[in-house]
């Protein structure tokens, strides 16, 4: 994979490759950027977000998207949808730039899941149980600047959650959610049509173009 360089986002350095606990393969950095929120009228940089993909993602996506410019990819919701749903491993690393309460984080992100699923008419009792399990994981957690939430998505549609605190990643997964929709919606929330980090999307489009063309 040609994307051999890491990316610095504010105070956070995303290395060029990682192997998440429990993952079968090494994943390579495809994009990173900052997430901003409007807090009481002030634009605040709250997290740095990195997106890692399995090496075979380049070949898989290249069949359809080789030859496109980064701008063409940025303008294509379909491209980012193909990244989200592609048959390869993905990892989203969310690193705190400010202190974040885990309960608030999980409530906000799971609320987005439910809104999307209800809008699509796919929300089920099983999804409600997944959300409850997800909220339970975060309810007593607090994250300091530099701490990370690691969200790994497998091709079989499970979401594995780990935390990294003080530079140490838990060896065993915090939880594995065997719910394909939660896995897909997590990454969609970052790089999808209304993704929270346009910078990460731009970075991913540029690095993909440089890798495949």
Which DSSP string corresponds to the chain? ------EEETTEEE-SEE--TT-SS-EEEEEEEEEEEEETTEEEEEEEEEEEEETHHHHHHHHHHTT--HHHHHT-HHHHHHHHHSSS-EEEEEEESS-EEHHHHHHHHHHHHHHHHHHHT---HHHHHHHHHHHHHHTT-EE-TT-EEEEEE-TTS-EEEEEEETTEE-SS-SEEE--HHHHHHHHHHHHSTT-S-HHHHHHHHHHHHHHH-
What pLDDT score does 3 carry? 52
What pLDDT score does 159 carry? 92
What pLDDT score does 1 carry? 47
pTM, two decimals, is 0.93
Query: Domains of the chain by range and CATH?
Result: 7-212 (3.50.70.10)
What pLDDT score does 173 carry? 82
Ordered mean pLDDT values, 10 residues apiece, the chain (213 residues) = 78 93 84 89 93 94 95 96 94 96 93 90 94 95 96 89 90 87 89 90 95 86
């Amino acid at each position: 994979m040609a994307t051999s360089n890491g990316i610095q986002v504010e105070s956070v350095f995303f290395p060029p490759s990682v192997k998440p606990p429990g993952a079968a393969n090494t994943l390579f950095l495809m994009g990173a950027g900052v997430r901003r929120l409007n807090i009481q009228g002030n634009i605040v940089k709250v997290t740095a977000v990195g997106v890692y993909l399995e090496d075979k993602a380049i070949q898989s996506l290249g069949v359809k998207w080789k030859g496109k410019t980064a701008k063409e990819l940025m303008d294509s919701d379909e491209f980012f949808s193909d990244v989200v749903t592609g048959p390869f491993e993905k990892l989203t690393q969310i690193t705190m730039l400010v202190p974040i309460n885990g309960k608030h984080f999980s409530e906000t992100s799971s609320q987005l899941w439910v809104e999307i699923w209800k809008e699509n008419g796919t929300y089920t009792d099983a999804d409600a149980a997944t959300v409850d399990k997800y909220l339970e994981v975060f309810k007593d957690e607090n994250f300091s600047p530099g701490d990370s939430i690691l969200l790994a998505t497998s091709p079989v549609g499970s979401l594995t959650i780990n935390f990294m605190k003080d530079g140490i990643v838990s060896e065993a997964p915090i939880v594995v959610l065997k719910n394909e929709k939660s896995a897909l919606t997590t990454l969609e929330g970052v790089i999808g049509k209304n993704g929270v980090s346009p910078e990460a999307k731009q970075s991913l489009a540029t690095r993909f173009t440089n890798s495949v063309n």
